[in-house]
Amino acid sequence: MVRPEQRLHPQRQPVAPRPAATMLLLRDAQYEGSRTIEVLMTRRSAQASFAPGAFVFPGGAIDPSDGRIAGGVRRRPTQDDTQAVQAVAAIRETFEELGVLLAWRHDGGFVDGHDIARLDRATAIEDHCSQHGLTLAADRVYPFAHWITDRDLPRRFDVQFFVARMPVGQTAVADGAEQFEPVWVRPDEALARHASGDFTMIFPTVRTLERLRSFNSVEALLTACRSERSLWSSCPRGGLSSGSVVRCMEGDPSYGELRLVCPDGQVLHSLDWRSTETAPLLGNVMRLTASNSGLMTGPGTNSYIVGTVATGFIVIDPGPDDQAHLQRIFAATGGDIRMIVCTHSHVDHAPGARPLQFMCPHKPPVLGRSSGPADRASHHFVPDRELLDGDVLTLAHDGDTHRLLVVSTPGHASNHVCLVLLEDGLLFSGDHILNGSTTIIDPPDGNMTAYLTSLDRLDAICAEREIDFILPAHGYVLDRAHDQIARLKAHRLAREAKIAGAVKALPTGSIDDWLRLAYTDVPERLWPAASRSLLAHLERLDEQRRPTSQA
């Protein structure tokens, strides 16, 4: 766990969210000869206190009356009491705002336009139920998504998004007070109009539509939602990009970094990749990204600086021999660098170590592990001191302590190490775990079996040390360390299964043949790099086929 004193921003208590519910009414449609769905949306009042002028789905806060009504609704046996109350709120708000009512008549028929014409929207819906013998149709709505409003906003809601088929014979009519201009729109169309600036939507609405467009019929969507569980749950976070606020949800590349730097939701952290500026992550950790962005390096190589002015600093991965980048590292540390650590010897990580060492008056030692015998000549690296598995690198002054545990993680490279900042539960993963892509395993120095074994070891260490954040050599900080490692391992094993299938289908095929079969989901421009990992998988498959020796 990160020490509170290392946080960059004072702790704050976000506003407690109010329970709420939203309804996505859907209908089937045809567009350019293909099946699709349309969703009913409406524009909020320009004077609304939340999302003024935005196109939304009908919905609102849960009312005390919703709990009273929920006891008498028709619902599926699998719907619990909380879901029933949420469903009632979504149905009630849809009726009040758009005049559409999901309800059963006492004769067993579904409410239609003739029934709606007899109902005054100003009258409480529970009165309509008792006076006209109506039963709200909670059994016709299904949970689709769960959104909690971003922590930085002054008004927050904990919202269950429901989906339901539009009732036959009913027409949406906006109330003219809270909602205006009801419109049926395809998800793709709404997103395109939003991008062009004439259909304003808030972040959760945009992301919901992005997920919605993967369904081409209402029945397919309702079938996917019949487990009674939301397909996803999110509490977005905000950061700064080019001076403007941008938002992201769990699984987006920058989410983990925002969670580390601004855990209470402050919108203060810049997500811009600027090689000329340090990116403070904690009081004792900052990042400088080299200006070597590219296909294999992403935004560039991350050099991490651990420590404080009081303790001095450890530099992790000084990067390429780029004088401007090294000068920025020197300036950020005031030249008080106590150790320079290279996670491995590849050309975007280690060549800057010696030049940086020579810049420092105290000539800090270069630490790491020597290049393996199978490594390329361009990766040749010999440290001043070999790091051993379990070594602890310590900075300390007057009770201010920062300790880095060395973890041997061969796989991407035979001399690869990761580092754990013990006091704050951070994993510096080098190239073993990246944000935004999977690392290349390049035989003979790279080895897939070793890589997967190292992943398992890192997973165990993260569990033992309660590590949640991973700081990779390329890309933003990752959170949910266990999930990230599990995802990587599952990806590698799934790819291996595809490769095994390709080899079985074309036993006399070539690397290129197997690439075409096993990497159909990877852009062809990446195939040259992917071919190295394919070779590593082939070696692993061959290892598995070899008979084990008998003692």
Same domain, 185 and 54: yes
Do strands 237-241 and 157-165 pair parallel, antiparallel, or not at all (unpaired)? unpaired
* Residue 248 clears pLDDT 50, i.e. is over it: yes
Q: Specify whether the CB–CB gap between 94 and 109 falls below 8 A.
A: no
Within a domain: 4: no
Which structure tokens are listed for 239? 């950061």
Q: Could you tell me which residues come within 8 angstroms of residue 108 by beta carbon, excluding any fewer than 6 positions away?
A: none
Please state the rounded mean pLDDT for residues 461-482. 97
Within a domain: 550: no
Query: What's residue 546's pLDDT?
Result: 77
Please state the rounded mean pLDDT for residues 331-344. 98
Tell me what the pLDDT averaged over the chain comes to. 95
Same domain, 240 and 376: no
Same domain, 43 and 127: yes
Query: What's residue 548's pLDDT?
Result: 63
Within a domain: 399: yes
Tens digit of each residue's pLDDT (9 = 90 or more) over 292-325: 999 889 999 999 999 999 999 999 999 999 999 9
Q: pLDDT class for 378, splitting at 50, 70, 90? A: confident
Same domain, 243 and 165: no
Q: Specify whether the CB–CB gap between 402 and 395 falls below 8 A.
A: yes
Query: What's residue 375's pLDDT?
Result: 87
Q: How many CA atoms lie within 13 A of 307 on its CB side?
A: 25
Please state the rounded mean pLDDT for residues 198-220. 96
State which residues form the domain around 340. 278-486
- The C-alpha atoms of residue 254 and residue 259 are separated, in whole angstroms, by 9
- The C-alpha atoms of residue 465 and residue 298 are separated, in whole angstroms, by 29
Same domain, 93 and 167: yes
Same domain, 379 and 414: yes
Which structure tokens are listed for 70? 């929920």
- The C-alpha atoms of residue 177 and residue 197 are separated, in whole angstroms, by 24
End-to-end CA distance of the chain, in Å?
A: 45
Same domain, 128 and 259: no
- The C-alpha atoms of residue 303 and residue 221 are separated, in whole angstroms, by 45
What are the beta bridge partners of residue 232? Answer: 145
Query: What's residue 551's pLDDT?
Result: 47
Tens digit of each residue's pLDDT (9 = 90 or more) over 486-501: 999 999 999 999 999 9
Q: pLDDT class for 162, splitting at 50, 70, 90? A: very high
Query: What's residue 37's pLDDT?
Result: 97
Within a domain: 7: no
Tens digit of each residue's pLDDT (9 = 90 or more) over 524-537: 999 999 999 999 99
- The C-alpha atoms of residue 315 and residue 143 are separated, in whole angstroms, by 48
Same domain, 398 and 508: no
- Tally of domains in the chain: 4
Instruction: Tell me 16's DSSP state.
Output: P
Same domain, 83 and 178: yes
- H-only helix segments in 282-416: 323-333, 353-359
Please state the rounded mean pLDDT for residues 156-169. 97
| CA-CA-CA-CA dihedral for 153, 157, 160, 163, to nearest 10 | -70
Which of 270-279, 362-371, 394-403, 538-547 is predicted with the least confidence, judged by mean pLDDT? 538-547
Please state the rounded mean pLDDT for residues 394-399. 95
With pLDDT > 90 as the criterion, what percentage of the chain qualifies? 92
Within a domain: 5: no
Same domain, 221 and 243: no
Within a domain: 1: no
Q: Specify whether the CB–CB gap between 201 and 208 falls below 8 A.
A: no
Q: Specify whether the CB–CB gap between 191 and 213 falls below 8 A.
A: yes
Tens digit of each residue's pLDDT (9 = 90 or more) over 14-61: 999 999 999 999 999 999 889 999 999 999 988 887 788 999 999 999
Q: Which of 272, 298, 328 is the last residue of a domain?
A: 272
Q: Which of 248, 272, 296 is the last residue of a domain?
A: 272
CATH number assigned to the domain comprising residue 156: 3.90.79.10
- The C-alpha atoms of residue 311 and residue 136 are separated, in whole angstroms, by 66
Which phi and psi angles does 298 have, rounded to 5°? 60, -135
Please state the rounded mean pLDDT for residues 386-414. 97
Query: What's residue 436's pLDDT?
Result: 87
CATH number assigned to the domain comprising residue 363: 3.60.15.10
Q: pLDDT class for 550, splitting at 50, 70, 90? A: low
Largest CA distance in the chain: 90
Tens digit of each residue's pLDDT (9 = 90 or more) over 117-146: 999 988 999 999 999 999 999 999 999 999
- H-only helix segments in 164-217: 187-196, 203-212
- The C-alpha atoms of residue 392 and residue 532 are separated, in whole angstroms, by 33
Q: How many CA atoms lie within 13 A of 431 on its CB side?
A: 28
Same domain, 451 and 535: no
Query: What's residue 549's pLDDT?
Result: 57
Same domain, 36 and 71: yes
Please state the rounded mean pLDDT for residues 421-428. 98
Within a domain: 364: yes
Please state the rounded mean pLDDT for residues 175-203. 94
Query: What's residue 487's pLDDT?
Result: 96
* Residue 185 clears pLDDT 90, i.e. is over it: yes
Within a domain: 12: no
Query: What's residue 499's pLDDT?
Result: 97
